Amino acid sequence: MSKILVVDDEQMIRLAFAEFLKDEGHSALLAEDGESALEQVRVHKPEIIFLDYRLSTRDGLELLAEIRNLLPTAAVIFMTAFGTMDVTIRAMQLGAYEYLTKPFDLAKVRDIIHRILTGRNTIASLGQGQSLPAVSLDQMVGRSASMQEIYKMIGLLTTQDVTVLVTGESGVGKELVARAIHDNSPRRLEPFVAVNCGAVPENLLESEMFGYEQGAFTGAGARKMGKFEAAGHGSIFLDEIGELQPSLQVKLLRVLQEKSFERVGGNSPVPVQARIIAATNKELHAEMLAGRFRKDLFYRLYLVHINIPALRERREDIPLLVDHFISRFNREQSRKVCGVAASVMQAFQGYSWPGNVRELENQIKRAMVLSRDDILIDEYFEFSSQTQPSGQISASSLVDASRQLFASLLKADANPPLLMEYMVGIVEKTIIDEALRVCNGNQVHAAQMLGIHRSTLRQKMKNHGL
Ligand SMILES: Nc1ncnc2c1ncn2[C@@H]1O[C@H](COP(=O)(O)OP(=O)(O)OP(=O)(O)O)[C@@H](O)[C@H]1O
Ligand SMILES: [Mg+2]
């Protein structure tokens, strides 16, 4: 039996929790405001605390900091109805154990309590709430469950200085996430230096990244600093890491392992102080299986990994993003556009968004250039591919996709013994992805639909990085 405190100014919520916790065999403590919460914390030292963000009398973040000071061993689960990026990041920086967006179901509460009590995760490693006032940052928009997860990860990764890999389709916001991690971390006053590994020719990339010594090659006049040195104690963003050629993959692996590198033409190691954030829109796991990406580097990078889902997998974010871009362009262009027509929004909701958020941003920008009206209507929008109605998994589309995949793999000269494994992997991932989408992310339902056990589903999701 554990002591669990619930802090919420809504009586209904307190009572629902009390009943549930008792049924689960725990001892429930209840508080309706900050003062009585602190009192309960002092007197009863609860192991777990569910804390509401919006208490009528005081700010939940402030209270969170105070509770963490008073009782650092308690796992505090922060609850809110509005999951904006800065509140989520702040809560995680202040050492919240978890972040729950209302409304949530009690099964989730049970899962969290179970996770804490089995001690699989300790809170000891999370920051102790040192104050880190966030600088103004390019706010990310989106309140879908998957974006909340991402804000939470960003928050965690601002207090833990580890290498991070950000994955996701083109235009989903990978660079934005990398910048948010940097801008909210203690390194934020130091440089953020980006290197696009796909855009620089292979022979130049090495000296671009690591710099060179005087006379390293013809034309190498004076010693030149590379991006790793330029980043200093800041962050270096290695974009399109999937494009890195094998010779540089080896060098990067050495940087990660030894925390130092050599300039081209030099032989004394230069220490790496910068934090590395890498990104790719390739299926890095598949690249590895196909023999194009080093296994050791893959596993080293994959350790801490944020995957940003495609926009079509979080359609509830579309209206928010539309508003966000319209108000931004209104400001930039001194316009007074107030929104898109209902039919446009409907088309948006049915569209597959292959270019993700960037495509949405560009669509709005283009429509605002072309139209003089305050409401953006259909004729100003253009969709690159046919709209995909959401719904059940279609077997014929899967067969088509497999054929295409097979053809492109043959063309790409994939390693034959791995071809089958690779294809089966991709198809399996696609099916699991689809099943989860159709079931709105509910793993129990998705497992039933696929006819596999929930733990099998979990394992497969983990293998595929879902
Ligand atoms: N959640 C979001 N809220 C607001 N703007 C966003 C969001 N996600 C992406 N954007 C905007 O969409 C555009 C694309 O984002 P970004 O460049 O970070 O994507 P990316 O994943 O790095 O794309 P690529 O794979 O093409 O490099 C940017 O203008 C960015 O500001
Ligand atoms: Mg990018």
Taking only the tens place, the pLDDT of each residue in 188-214 is: 889 999 999 998 888 789 999 999 988
Query: In DSSP terms, which residues pair with 7 in a beta bridge?
Result: 31, 51
Query: If pLDDT is split at 50, 70 and 90, which confidence band does 134 have?
Result: very low
Region of 291 (left: φ > 0; alpha: ψ -120 to 50; beta: rest) is left
Say how many Å lie between the CA of residue 357 and the centre of ligand 1. Answer: 6
Domain(s) labelled CATH 3.40.50.2300 in the chain stretch across 3-117
CA distance 374 to 385: 27
Write out pLDDT tens, residues 213-248.
888 787 777 888 899 999 999 999 999 999 999 999
pLDDT tops 60 at residue 138: no
Helix 85-93 and helix 60-70, axial crossing angle in degrees, nearest 10? 10
pLDDT tops 80 at residue 279: yes
Q: Is the CB of 170 under 6 A from ligand 1?
A: yes
What was the pLDDT predicted at 419? 67
By most ligand atoms within 8 Å of CB, the mutation choice from 322, 357, 363 for ligand 1 is: 357
Say how many Å lie between the CA of residue 465 and the centre of ligand 1. Answer: 21
Among candidate residues 122, 42, 51, 120, the one with its CA nearest the CA of residue 87: 51
CA distance 297 to 251: 10
Q: Which two tokens stand for residue 295?
A: 């296994």
Kindly give the pairing relationship between strand 260-261 and strand 270-271: antiparallel
CB distance 304 to 153 below 8 Å: no
pLDDT tops 60 at residue 127: no
What was the pLDDT predicted at 124? 31
221 compared with 281, residue with greater pLDDT = 281
The three-state secondary structure class of 17 is helix
CB atoms within 10 A of CB 222: 8
pLDDT tops 80 at residue 408: no
CB atoms within 10 A of CB 128: 13
What was the pLDDT predicted at 417? 56
Write out pLDDT tens, residues 153-167.
999 998 889 999 999
By most ligand atoms within 8 Å of CB, the mutation choice from 141, 153, 167, 175 for ligand 1 is: 175
Query: What backbone phi and psi angles, to 5 degrees, belong to 238?
Result: -95, 95
What CATH topology corresponds to 312-380?
Answer: Helicase, Ruva Protein; domain 3 (1.10.8)
Region of 171 (left: φ > 0; alpha: ψ -120 to 50; beta: rest) is left
What CATH topology corresponds to 395-463?
Answer: Arc Repressor Mutant, subunit A (1.10.10)
What was the pLDDT predicted at 221? 79
Q: Is the CB of 140 under 6 A from ligand 1?
A: yes
86 compared with 14, residue with greater pLDDT = 14
Query: In DSSP terms, which residues pair with 237 in a beta bridge?
Result: 194, 277
Q: Is the CB of 172 under 6 A from ligand 1?
A: yes
- Ligand approaching nearest to the C-alpha of 150: 1
Look over the chain and give the mean of its residue pLDDT values, rounded to a whole number. Answer: 85
Query: By CB neighbour count within 10 A (0-12 exposed, 13-18 middle, 19+ buried), where does 61 fall?
Result: buried
- Ligand approaching nearest to the C-alpha of 280: 1
For the domain bounded by 3-117, which CATH number is listed? Answer: 3.40.50.2300
Instruction: Find the mean pLDDT for residues 314-319.
Output: 94
Write out pLDDT tens, residues 20-79.
999 999 999 999 999 999 999 999 999 999 999 888 778 889 999 999 999 988 899 999
**Which atom of ligand 1 lies at the shortest distance from residue 279's CA?**
22
CA distance 266 to 17: 64
Among candidate residues 3, 165, 156, the one with its CA nearest the CA of residue 74: 3
What was the pLDDT predicted at 388? 43
Instruction: Find the mean pLDDT for residues 160-186.
Output: 94
- Dihedral sign from CA coordinates of 452, 284, 279, 393: negative
pLDDT tops 70 at residue 304: yes
Q: Is the CB of 357 under 6 A from ligand 1?
A: yes
Q: Is the CB of 168 under 6 A from ligand 1?
A: yes
Query: In DSSP terms, which residues pair with 166 in a beta bridge?
Result: 279, 306
What was the pLDDT predicted at 434? 84
Q: Is the CB of 270 under 6 A from ligand 1?
A: no
CB atoms within 10 A of CB 310: 19
pLDDT tops 90 at residue 301: yes
Query: If pLDDT is split at 50, 70 and 90, which confidence band does 450 have?
Result: confident
pLDDT tops 60 at residue 126: no
CA distance 30 to 18: 8
By most ligand atoms within 8 Å of CB, the mutation choice from 149, 165, 176 for ligand 1 is: 176
Kindly give the pairing relationship between strand 211-212 and strand 224-225: antiparallel
For domain 161-307, which architecture applies? 3-Layer(aba) Sandwich (3.40)
Q: Is the CB of 361 under 6 A from ligand 1?
A: yes
pTM score over 0.85: no
pLDDT tops 60 at residue 392: no
CB distance 445 to 437 below 8 Å: no
* Residues bordering ligand 2, an ion, CB closer than 5 Å: 175
Domain(s) labelled CATH 1.10.10.60 in the chain stretch across 395-463
Q: Is the CB of 358 under 6 A from ligand 1?
A: yes
pLDDT tops 90 at residue 281: yes
CB atoms within 10 A of CB 337: 19
pLDDT tops 90 at residue 410: no
**Which atom of ligand 1 lies at the shortest distance from residue 281's CA?**
25
Which residue blocks in 144-242 are alpha helix, DSSP H? 145-159, 174-183, 202-210, 227-230
**Which atom of ligand 1 lies at the shortest distance from residue 142's CA?**
1
